[in-house]
Structure 1
Amino acid sequence: MSAGTTGYKRLRKPEETKMRIRKHDSYETSNPMTALLVDGVAENRHLEHQILESIGIRTEPANSAQEAMQLLLTGANFDIIFVDFDLPIISGPQFVMDMRALGIQSKIVGMLSNFSDHNSQMFFEAGVNGNTQKPLTREIFEHVIQIIHLI
């Protein structure tokens, strides 16, 4: 052993442990897929953002439809837009209708905490390309991305 070591590894306290997510190789490509993530719940948005980034999708988070709309009106383009059903001020389906009325052609996926036929139908009538149930996991996001590539 070298000087200054005791042979014991210091154990981390639980609050020191951070979630580590390995970046996907495609993140390093010159033209990665881009996503706009619209979710009004900060904790959900942060986790969803981390998962999307970990699978190689450059993600711009927005906490409301208004914030997302401001970004879209600046000319920002996204390959895919994830929209939560329960947004502050206006609903996810209303936001999707507003985007489609502006001519936004991105693929749009509705995210539903309360996945019911009625809520799913509201999203489809608004113009989404697909829906998924929350909470979202890496596997769900990967599956949704594969399906979106086929549409």
Structure 2
Amino acid sequence: MRKAYIINTNLTNRPGGETEVDMLENEKCAAYFSPWKEKIHQILPNDLVFLYSNGKGIIARGIATGVVEVADYLNEDGLHPDEEYYMNLNRFEMLFNPITSSDINDIIGRKIVLAPTMVSLKYEEGLKLWQAITKEYLN
């Protein structure tokens, strides 16, 4: 059964924005270190994925390939082998204007907490977000 996910770009933990920039430039979603990185395995082919930037909102969207890849992760503490799990996203698009958390709640019709690394939505809720982006948030 298809689902939708909102993935946090990790801006709070990486205030320099390196992880967010990496996700945007490489058209992927990612998570780092256990137990968060393993959550990427929940995403299946053709699931809808939205990238969420703290303080801004949803900044990009794509469709999951379903293939989890592993990479080394470099931060101020040094190189951490195999600590990034990521998935490339098809039909990747960055939004012209972010969708704020209050707008997300209005669009899907319920209040969600966006603090976790990954928030799961019903496919129908994700589809509402996808359609709202198509109508109002792309250039």
Query: What TM-score, normalized by structure 2, do the two folds share?
Result: 0.29
Highest relative contact order (Cα 8 Å, sep 6+), 1 or 2?
Answer: 2
TM-score normalised to the size of structure 1? 0.27
More strand by share: 2
- By percentage of residues, which structure has more helix? 1
